[in-house]
């Protein structure tokens, strides 16, 4: 547990004016209220629309005409309700399972369900394959949470808000006998006790008659978006504040049973401490900001992409008011400014590049200021000759390693040229179809190892 005195030092952390160069670039518009972005282990992005549809956004920025899934007839949408979250099973390639979080049309209650991809077409799901995993009654229309993610442990994590209204009037977040205001953790590969899931053996409240076994953590107000760092497996939770503080929590995923403090505290500030535990028993945010800066936080991801070097290992978050910010490895929070969007979600592609969704219908890509230079890689293994180049490019392995494939992609992450089954140590390819600019070249050897180098085309 974090010490309150230490945490109160966060009050003195000011927004730094500049640390890294962060910008956004429009990737695709034309969506209807996009609220989530996920990938299924390939180069497609799956865009969740609040009204109940999931659409496929391809690497070339085209949108499939037919939605991947349309469940608009069974959900309630509007305000904070709708189809809110998507997660693909870790073994999706083999079992075709994915999970959605939505509010139903018979009262706006939470439903988490499993669906299955069509057996003959990977671009559509089987709408008749629904299997209900878990549900929860929602007393009010707001604070539904909606984020679902798989951890590296293979379990499904589900974030639920406190049930809504304001100030958690029924004290649900601190009540361990309700699912609201909690982070749940389920084993969805096994069933037990009449449920379509079982409880992981190391969930913290198993055997406690005053708590629900599904609970992993509690004391959350509205964890609208959370994620796991793909390198460290740390859990990042952006919890929406009441009327003063927006907070970011960061913990190692092995620590179970944490109490994040709501309704007792809003961020590191007292809110309503009646009947609350001692502050030493609470986990306080690693970073926060007040409502002179933003109004409602949206959590994102730690950047581990292969294009930009200056934003590596930064956690990205945003706010409904247009702010985009980052938190670094030592929890320094940086405000990168107002980017004009009404930001509601982030997503990652298969290469670790980060995207951000504007509820108005646009998907943008996060871009940094410094592209990886060839000196950042083991340049002795592969040479690009010449570089800069114009008409042709000679790709040569200096140690006679057999080259299996070459992929050239632009700074949007889109593949512009691909050569497979090369099977020699030196290959000349034509690049006269490429426009002048900066590209990344991924060279993969026959043993599966790869290297990425920067290419300038004149």
Residues 96 and 49 occupy one common structural domain: yes
Among 335, 352, 367, which residue terminates a domain? 367
Question: Do the bridges between strand 215-218 and strand 182-186 make them parallel or antiparallel, or are there none, so unpaired?
Answer: antiparallel
Question: What Rg do the C-alpha atoms of the chain give, in angstroms?
Answer: 23
| Nearest CA among 51, 13, 20, 17 for reference residue 34 | 51
- What is the share, in percent, of the chain residues with pLDDT greater than 90? 80
Please answer whether residues 341 and 361 qualify as being in contact, where contact means their C-beta atoms are separated by less than 8 angstroms.
no
- Note the pLDDT of residue 151: 97
Q: Which residues of the chain have pLDDT under 70?
A: 1-19, 373-380, 412-413
User: In terms of C-beta distances under 8 Å and separation of at least 24 residues, what long-range contacts does 46-52 make, across chains too?
Assistant: 46/86, 46/88, 47/357, 47/363, 48/83, 48/84, 48/85, 48/86, 48/100, 49/83, 50/77, 50/78, 50/82, 50/83, 50/84, 50/359, 51/75, 51/77, 51/82, 51/83, 52/77, 52/82, 52/83, 52/102
Tell me the pLDDT tens digit for each residue of 311-321.
999 999 999 99
Q: How far apart are the first and last CA of the chain?
A: 56
Indicate if 145 and 285 belong to the same structural domain.
yes
> Is the same domain home to 261 and 171?
yes
* The pair of three-digit structure tokens given for residue 263, joined into one six-digit string: 């309704």
Residue 301 and residue 378 in one domain: no
Do residues 212 and 105 share a domain? yes
Same domain for 225 and 158: yes
Question: Coil, helix or strand for 214?
Answer: coil
Q: pTM score, two decimals?
A: 0.83
Query: Residues 197, 287: one domain?
Result: yes
CATH of the domain at 291: 2.120.10.30
- Other beta carbons within 10 angstroms of residue 18's beta carbon come to 10
Look at strands 182-186 and 34-38 and give their pairing.
Answer: unpaired
User: Are 412 and 346 in the same domain?
Assistant: no
- For 353-416, the DSSP string reads -EEEEETTTEEEEEE-S-BPPGGGS-TTSEEEESSSBSSEEEEEETT-PPEEEEEEE-TTS-EE
Query: Which of 367, 398, 428 is the C-terminal boundary of a domain?
Result: 367
Domain CATH number, residue 450: 2.60.40.1930
Q: What pLDDT was estimated at residue 373?
A: 56
| Beta strands at 235-239 and 269-270: parallel, antiparallel or unpaired | unpaired
Q: Are 129 and 69 in contact (CB under 8 A)?
A: no
Residue-range definition of the domain harbouring residue 240: 4-367
Cα separation, 303 vs 305, in Å, equals 6
The answer on 408 and 288 residing in a single domain is no
The answer to whether residues 219 and 181 touch, using CB atoms and an 8 Å cutoff, is: yes
Q: How many domains does the chain have?
A: 2
Domain boundary among 336, 367, 398: 367
Q: Are residues 379 and 356 in the same domain?
A: no
Same domain, 353 and 383: no
Q: Label residue 415 left, alpha or beta by phi (over 0 means left) and psi (-120 to 50 means alpha).
A: beta
Query: Is residue 338 domain-shared with residue 387, that is, in the same domain?
Result: no
**Gap between the Cα atoms of 316 and 298, Å rounded:** 9
């Amino acid at each position: 547990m974090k010490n309150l005195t230490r945490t109160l030092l966060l009050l003195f952390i000011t927004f730094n004016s500049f640390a890294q160069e962060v910008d956004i670039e429009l990737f695709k518009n034309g969506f209807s209220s996009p609220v989530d972005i996920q990938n299924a282990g390939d180069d497609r992005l799956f865009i969740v629309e609040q009204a109940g549809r999931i659409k496929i956004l391809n690497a070339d920025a085209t949108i499939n005409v037919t939605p991947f899934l349309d469940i608009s007839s069974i959900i309630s949408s509007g305000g904070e309700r709708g189809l809110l979250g998507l997660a693909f099973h870790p073994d999706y390639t083999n079992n075709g399972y994915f999970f959605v979080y939505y509010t139903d049309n018979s009262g706006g209650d939470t439903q988490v369900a499993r669906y299955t991809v069509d057996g003959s077409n990977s671009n559509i799901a089987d709408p008749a394959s629904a299997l209900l995993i878990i549900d929860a009654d929602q007393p009010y229309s707001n604070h539904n949470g909606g984020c679902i993610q798989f951890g590296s442990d293979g379990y499904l994590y589900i974030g639920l808000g406190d049930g809504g209204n304001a100030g958690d009037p029924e004290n649900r977040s601190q009540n361990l006998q309700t699912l609201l205001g909690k982070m749940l953790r389920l084993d969805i590969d096994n069933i037990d006790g009449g449920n379509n899931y079982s409880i992981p053996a190391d969930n913290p409240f198993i055997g406690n008659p005053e708590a629900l076994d599904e609970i992993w953590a509690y004391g959350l107000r509205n964890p609208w978006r959370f994620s796991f760092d793909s390198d460290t497996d740390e859990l990042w939770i952006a919890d929406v504040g009441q009327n003063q503080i927006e907070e970011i929590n960061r913990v190692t995923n092995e620590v179970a049973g944490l109490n994040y403090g709501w309704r007792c505290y809003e961020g590191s500030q007292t809110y309503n401490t009646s009947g609350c535990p001692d502050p030493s028993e609470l986990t306080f945010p690693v970073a926060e900001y007040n409502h002179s800066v933003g109004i409602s936080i949206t959590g994102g991801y730690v950047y581990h992409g292969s294009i930009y070097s200056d934003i590596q290992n930064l956690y990205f978050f945003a706010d409904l008011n247009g702010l985009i910010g980052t938190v670094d490895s030592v929890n320094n929070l940086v405000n990168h400014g107002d980017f004009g969007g009404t930001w509601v979600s982030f997503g990652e592609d298969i290469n670790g590049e980060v995207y951000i969704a504007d509820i108005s219908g646009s998907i943008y890509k996060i871009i940094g200021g410094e592209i990886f230079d060839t000196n950042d890689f083991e340049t002795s293994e592969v040479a690009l000759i010449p570089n800069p180049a114009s008409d042709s490019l000679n790709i040569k392995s200096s140690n006679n390693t057999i080259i299996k494939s070459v992929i050239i992609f632009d700074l949007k992450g889109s593949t512009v040229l691909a050569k497979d089954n090369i099977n020699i140590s030196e290959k000349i390819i034509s690049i006269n179809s490429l426009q002048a600019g900066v590209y990344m070249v991924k060279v993969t050897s026959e043993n599966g190892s790869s290297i990425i180098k920067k290419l300038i085309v004149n």
